[in-house]
Amino acid sequence: MMDFTQALAAKGQPDRTFEALARLVQDTIGAKLFTTMVIDRDRNVARRNFTNMPEAYPVSGEKPRNKDRWADIVEGQHETFVANSIEEIAAVFPDHELIRSLGCESCINVPVTIDGQVIGTLNCLHEAGHYTPERAEAANALKLPGAVAFLLHEKYNGGA
């Protein structure tokens, strides 16, 4: 299995890099469900550009950008959002029933920031209580590989 750097150099971009990013996420903090969302400010939506569960969360799915607690933390403060119960998830995500049906009751959303602006998020979901403070701290190591994946996506897909 190739590591992130090898995946970056491989043909088949940006897919190979996103797949390597998913393995890196799994090795670093764990995730049953892993997606990435790129922010499209022109259309005021976040669009999925990678998923490890395409049946439940297909690539190119979109969500409107809301002005809520999650947006304040992730887009406003550029901080990682953690919810360790389905109740906390339900308070900010309307798709909480689907999330729970996939065996996930905790999430961590890691903002990827370039040039002072959040360009997207790494979204990791797992069993209740999974995202401990130690895992949240470890998630910071995913920001640079996430930025590389997002920049490759932009290069190969002509923008957001």
Report whether pLDDT(118) > 90. Answer: yes
Q: Looking at the 3D structure of the chain, how many domains does it have?
A: 1
Q: Supply the range of the domain harboring residue 29.
A: 14-157
Q: Cβ neighbours of residue 39 under 8 Å, at least 6 residues apart?
A: 45, 46, 65, 75, 118, 119, 120, 121, 160
Asked if residue 144 belongs to a domain, the reply is: yes
Asked if residue 4 belongs to a domain, the reply is: no
Span 34-64, pLDDT tens digits: 999 999 999 999 999 999 999 999 998 899 8
* Displacement of CA 58 from its chain's centroid (Å): 13
Asked if residue 67 belongs to a domain, the reply is: yes
pTM: 0.95
Report whether pLDDT(158) > 80. Answer: no
Asked if residue 7 belongs to a domain, the reply is: no
pLDDT band at 146 (very low <50, low <70, confident <90, very high): very high
